[in-house]
Structure 1
Amino acid sequence: MTSPDPAGAIAAATVIVVRDGADGLEILAIERAKGMGFAGGAIAFPGGKVDPGDAPSTEAFIGFAGLAPDDAIARVAAAREAFEESGILFSAGPVVDHGTRTRLRPASDSHAIGFAELLGEIGHSLDAAVLRPFARWLPPMGLHKRFDTRFYVAALPEGEVMLADGHEAVHARWATPALLLREADEGLISLLFPTRCNIARLGQFASAAALLADETPPPFVQPDILEDGWLSIPEGIGYPYVRERLERVRRE
């Protein structure tokens, strides 16, 4: 499907942070706090709702002018959420010390400071090209909570270190897609259907360089609820995992 209807859905953005490990491509997997209203306790990527304050409104944002407005603001939201939840800055500039990061992360999370203001304070700029579109997912119509989520991929910047915030992301680790899928099959972790599908797709790449060099157009996916009790996405759009029984699907 090329044009799902996003009416009534909440705009959201997610970033899949990748690096190369001893066993190949690794992705940053965070465990969401169990008390969160959406996907509590699930394994996910850093991300959240798009905020009006995420608009790329200053000279600190490079390469955003040519993007569609929804894409531009979502890339900023993805970068902001990555900093808040994992401590990773995708912006470039002077080294930011631990104390400054510790002060700015909760200020950003509480919207006491906008991301543009944050970049200005640390003297950084954010290049839109750092966050590459990977997919856009939209739940089927009729669900009580629907997020129109844009997924981006980005390589871990040199010198950046992941550190879970302990609030929204209670734990964070690097893991291969194969390990995460095996743990999900064994019931050790919980994955939402879009997360599982995207992890399976990531598992087709041997390295971060191979993933970032992939020229597959980012699909716009809206799953279908089939009459025979399956949740399904179209085949032929880059996903090896396309169906799951409805009774197994975690929906919130």
Structure 2
Amino acid sequence: MAIPFFGDVVDTPPLPSATVMLLRDGAPGLQVLLMRRHGNTAVLGGVHVFPGGKLDPTDLLDRADAVDLSGALCRQRLAEPELEPAQALALHLAALRETFEECGLLPGSLADAAQLAALRERTLAGTNLCSAASELGLGLKLSALLPWSRWITPRQPSVSNKRFDTRFFVALAPPEQDIVACARETTEVVWMTPRTVLERYWAGDIDLAPPQIMSLSHLTRLGGADAVLDHARTRPPALIAPEPFDEDGVRVICYPGDPAHSQREAAWPGPTRLRFRNRRFEPEGGLDELLG
């Protein structure tokens, strides 16, 4: 993985964004959906990521008749009392929209293949998701998304020249819906267990960014999809504000709970720092520490 902005300071505000860890239980156990971004993509090109992206102006043009949660309730779920209700609702909607745009899945929906195809046709033509769903009589289930964590890129980022304020959600993948990958943005969409993803990363088969590495490490410790969803329901989203520094010319990223981080309480089990070596980000304890 190239680190083209190693050491640079970015003063622009972080961009509001949302991402979704889609889950299902398969024969190998808990599986999560990942997409490999096109190599020429400006941000994280060639890296395996969860569906997601930055907030779009259309996400703020909500239709109350098309969603099942109010802005106030969305804010409560995110545990961010300072957030405007409209912004909280827009972040939920952005997560749903990006998931539908990038892999064709609409969590919480009972729409059949024909309805989803019609919805896709309308959104590709430029109609925002809320309006398109309303036209087709489809409700958007924001409640199918459970807030998981919030990642704020530091002013000294390690993988991009842009900063993001990203809300991570978890959701069950609708079992009756088929993946329809966005060819403009992705070259591969795969289901894997969190353990397999991390093992493939360690073997050099795929690239991952630090938020994916840390989130997958957490998932390896939680069991099946129901356990992950229950975990999300019973605690507020973890705030992850990485604090990087350079040590002997090597980038180190510290997370809550690390002795070098300003927040001494750990956000979740697992490693509390990653070090860039061997052309990848590694915890001090190697793969075993990632897998728990």
TM-score scaled by structure 1?
Answer: 0.88
Counterparts of 2:19 and 2:140 in 1: how far apart (Å)?
Answer: 16
Superposition pairs for residues 86-97 of structure 1, below 5 Å?
86-97=103-114
Kindly, what percent of the aligned residue pairs are identical?
Answer: 30
Superposition pairs for residues 52-131 of structure 1, below 5 Å?
52-55=57-60, 56-66=62-72, 67-68=74-75, 69=85, 70-97=87-114, 99-100=117-118, 103-104=121-122, 106-107=124-125, 112-131=126-145
Equivalent residue, structure 2, for 1:160: 177
Q: Do 1:94 and 1:123's aligned partners in 2 also have CA atoms closer than 8 Å? A: no
Deviations 1:169-195 (A, max 9, x none): 221011000000001111110000111
SS of the equivalent of 2:134 reads helix
| Structure 1 gap segments, 5+ residues each | 1-5
Equivalent residue, structure 1, for 2:236: 217
Q: Do residues 137 (structure 1) and 151 (structure 2) align?
A: yes
- 1:177 counterpart (187, 194, 199): 194
Counterparts of 2:271 and 2:29 in 1: how far apart (Å)?
Answer: 20
TM-score scaled by structure 2?
Answer: 0.77
Aligned residue-pair number: 241
Deviation of 1:101 after TM superposition, in Å, equals 5.2
Larger RCO, structures 1/2 (Cα 8 Å, 6+ apart): 1
Equivalent residue, structure 1, for 2:25: 20
Equivalent residue, structure 1, for 2:82: none
Counterparts of 2:208 and 2:20 in 1: how far apart (Å)?
Answer: 16
Q: Do 2:108 and 2:141's aligned partners in 1 also have CA atoms closer than 8 Å? A: yes
| Structure 2 gap segments, 5+ residues each | 1-10, 76-84, 258-265, 282-292
Deviation of 1:141 after TM superposition, in Å, equals 1.4
Counterparts of 1:71 and 1:9 in 2: how far apart (Å)?
Answer: 16
Counterparts of 1:94 and 1:194 in 2: how far apart (Å)?
Answer: 32
Equivalent residue, structure 2, for 1:237: 267
Equivalent residue, structure 1, for 2:49: 44
Superposition pairs for residues 187-226 of structure 1, below 5 Å?
187-214=204-231, 215-226=234-245
Deviations 1:34-72 (A, max 9, x none): 111100100000001101211233311111232223321
SS of the equivalent of 2:175 reads coil
Deviation of 1:168 after TM superposition, in Å, equals 0.7
Larger radius of gyration between Structure 1 and Structure 2: 2
Larger deviation: 78-87 or 57-66? 57-66
Counterparts of 2:108 and 2:47 in 1: how far apart (Å)?
Answer: 28
